Structure 1
Amino acid sequence: MTQKLLILLFFFGSFVMKSQNLVWKTNLNDAIAISNEQKKPLLIYFTAAGVSQKFEDDIFKTPDFAVWSRDNVILLKLDLSNTTISDAEREQNVKIRNAFGTEELPQVCLALASIKKMKTTFNALGKVPYNSGGVRAWIIEANAILRPE
Structure 2
Amino acid sequence: MKKLFITLLLVVSSMTIQAQEKLTWHTNIDEAIAVSKTENKPLFLFFTGSDWCGWCIRLQNEVFKTPEFIAWAKENVVLVELDFPRRTPQSDALKIQNSQLQQFFAIRGYPSVRIAKAGAPVDGKTSFELLGETGYVAGGPTVWLDGANKMVAKFVPYTAEEQKTAKKATKKKKSTKKKA
Q: TM-score, length-normalised on structure 2?
A: 0.71
Q: Which residue of 1 aligns with 2:94?
A: 89
Q: Which structure: greater strand fraction?
A: 1
Q: Does 1:28 align with 2:26?
A: no
Higher CA-based Rg: 2
Give the partner amino acid of 2:115. Answer: L
Once the two structures are overlaid, the 10-residue window that deviates more, 5-14 or 73-82, is 5-14
Residue 8 (structure 1) shift:
6.8
Q: Does 1:141 align with 2:147?
A: yes
Residue 93 (structure 1) shift:
1.4
Q: Which residue of 2 aligns with 1:119?
A: 125
2:136 is aligned, of 125, 130, 138, to 130
Deviations 1:101-145, CA, capped at 9 Å, x for gaps: 210011111001145374211111111221111011101110011
Structure 1 outlier segments of 4+, above 4 Å: 2-12
State whether residues 107 and 127 of structure 1, in contact with CA within 8 Å, keep that contact through their aligned partners in structure 2. yes
State whether residues 36 and 114 of structure 1, in contact with CA within 8 Å, keep that contact through their aligned partners in structure 2. no
Deviations 1:34-78, CA, capped at 9 Å, x for gaps: 001001001001112311211111111111110000000000001
Count of residues in Structure 1 that have an aligned counterpart in Structure 2: 146
Deviations 1:84-111, CA, capped at 9 Å, x for gaps: 222x431221121121121001111100
Once the two structures are overlaid, the 10-residue window that deviates more, 6-15 or 106-115, is 6-15
Give the partner amino acid of 1:140. Answer: D
Q: Which residue of 1 aligns with 2:63?
A: 59
Residue 7 (structure 1) shift:
7.8
Once the two structures are overlaid, the 10-residue window that deviates more, 116-125 or 22-31, is 116-125
Q: Which residue of 2 aligns with 1:50?
A: 52
CA distance in 1, matches of 2:58, 2:136: 8
Identity across aligned pairs (percent)? 31
CA RMSD of aligned residues (A): 2.4
Q: Which structure: greater helix fraction?
A: 2
Residue 10 (structure 1) shift:
6.1
Q: Does 1:100 align with 2:105?
A: yes
